[in-house]
Amino acid sequence: MILLYSFVIYACIFSCGAQDSSLDNLIADIFKTDETQPSSTIQPTPQVPNVSVSPKDSTPTGTAQYQSCGYQKECVPRWLCSNNTINTSGENIIDIRIDTDASCKNPLDLCCDLPNKRTEPDGSFVIPKAPEGCGYSNPNGVGFKITGAVNQESEFGEFPWMLAILREEGQLNLYECGGALIAPDVVLTAAHCVHNKQPSTIVVRAGEWDTQTKSEVVPHEDRYVKEIVYHEQFNKGALYNDVAVLLLESPFTLQSNIQPVCLPNVGDIFDFERCYATGWGKNKFGKDGEYQVILKKVDLPVVPNQRCEANLRETRLGRHFILDKSFICAGGEKDKDTCKGDGGSPLVCPIKGQANRYKSAGIVAWGIGCGEVNIPGVYANVAQLRPWIDSKLKLWNISPIYYTP
């Protein structure tokens, strides 16, 4: 994902067919899991990838050996330090710039006096209760708050509907695209992400944040896919009607960092609103772009379709290009965009009059490059496609209570 400095993964209409040769290897590293066959609730063991962020010190024997951070001090998981600084109010913050002068390399660790170090949580670290209803973000994070997020890092659990859709290949789970949770056992994503895929090969992960560790304060959960349904009029060349819903074999456990997003009403217009896209995508277009380790967020203006069409006609699409009504556009600001690999990820817009509450406006579909001035990214229009989504949810007897504000 291209943020003001670095960000999201696109599924570009003109580029996703020609994946970088190293893509599978890189994504396999980032989202690697253990070699056991998952059940309906998979317990993966991600390996520390050889990416830009330093790994946490550990030992394969299972006995943690913590990094020293001073005399009689060690970096330990935050909930294992009983020095009365652990809280859920957000007062105890960490520096996400983990490759600078932070005393602990891992952003989830705390520099703890050895006399306060524990082997079990002391009971003071309490995960906040999940809100009732869809679309509530956690702007202060879940369990802790980060600071120094100069590259648009999201808080842990800030966007609890964000999902990673993985493709099972042998004993590996390879990152395929993003998605959004709209009910405990239903995923909203792009059709191009799952077109012609077998449900048994797809795994959905909720609650993911830092792909280099499984030490988040609340662990992620994985589920197999039972059924894939994509729009009958999906056009795999032009990406018209680029929407799909996935029914999971078992529901996710709704909690503070795993929650559904609200769906918009039919006909909702989001023009000129500033909305958020999230993902683990590339920070720039082309071979020099790097996939992100920590979930990123980017705020984008929704661009009216008529203006978006005019802007896109100035690109290689040419002056006869017509923007289909199944699309919505957002972006057009320098270095702020979704990018390659973000396909299927949600674009969410604020619900008016309700603080920190969002509904899905778009699904990352395609673009011309990433992060260029006056060239918005193109998303599937969820409000336009809502009748189709409703028809599929009705067939599965999914209650509207999960996705209705």
pLDDT tens digits along 174-185: 888 999 999 999
Q: How far apart are CA 347 and CA 218, in angstroms?
A: 24
CB 201 within 8 A of CB 38: no
Whether 129 shows a pLDDT value over 90: the answer reads no
Residue 309 has φ and ψ, to the nearest 5°, of -60, -45
CB 67 within 8 A of CB 108: no
Tokens representing 131 are 């809100």
Least Cα distance to 116 among 150, 148, 86, 158 occurs for 86
Q: How far apart are CA 161 and CA 184, in angstroms?
A: 10
pLDDT tens digits along 257-311: 999 999 999 999 999 999 999 988 655 455 555 556 788 899 999 999 999 999 9
CB 166 within 8 A of CB 202: yes
Average of per-residue pLDDT across 228-249: 96
Domain range annotation of the chain? 68-116, 162-261+387-402, 273-384
User: What pLDDT sits at residue 398?
Assistant: 97
* Poorest-pLDDT segment among 60-64, 131-135, 243-247: 60-64
**CA-based diameter of the chain, in Å?**
71
User: What pLDDT sits at residue 59?
Assistant: 32
User: What pLDDT sits at residue 285?
Assistant: 53
Whether 372 shows a pLDDT value over 90: the answer reads no
Q: Does this chain's domain 162-261+387-402 share its CATH topology with 273-384?
A: yes
Q: How far apart are CA 166 and CA 22, in angstroms?
A: 17
Protein fold of 162-261+387-402: Thrombin, subunit H (2.40.10)
pTM of the model: 0.73
106 vs 138, 186, 215, 325, CA distance in Å? 21, 33, 10, 45
Architecture in CATH for domain 273-384: Beta Barrel (2.40)
Write the secondary structure of 133-178 as one string of H (helix), E (strand) and C (coil): CCCECCCCCCCCEEECCCCCECCCCCCCCEEEEEEEECCEEEEEEE
User: What pLDDT sits at residue 204?
Assistant: 96
Rounded to a whole number of angstroms, the distance between the first and last alpha carbons of the chain is 28
Query: Which of 13-27, 43-57, 148-162 shows the highest mean pLDDT?
Result: 148-162
User: What pLDDT sits at residue 130?
Assistant: 75
Query: Which of 37-46, 113-122, 167-176 shows the highest mean pLDDT?
Result: 167-176
CB 262 within 8 A of CB 317: no
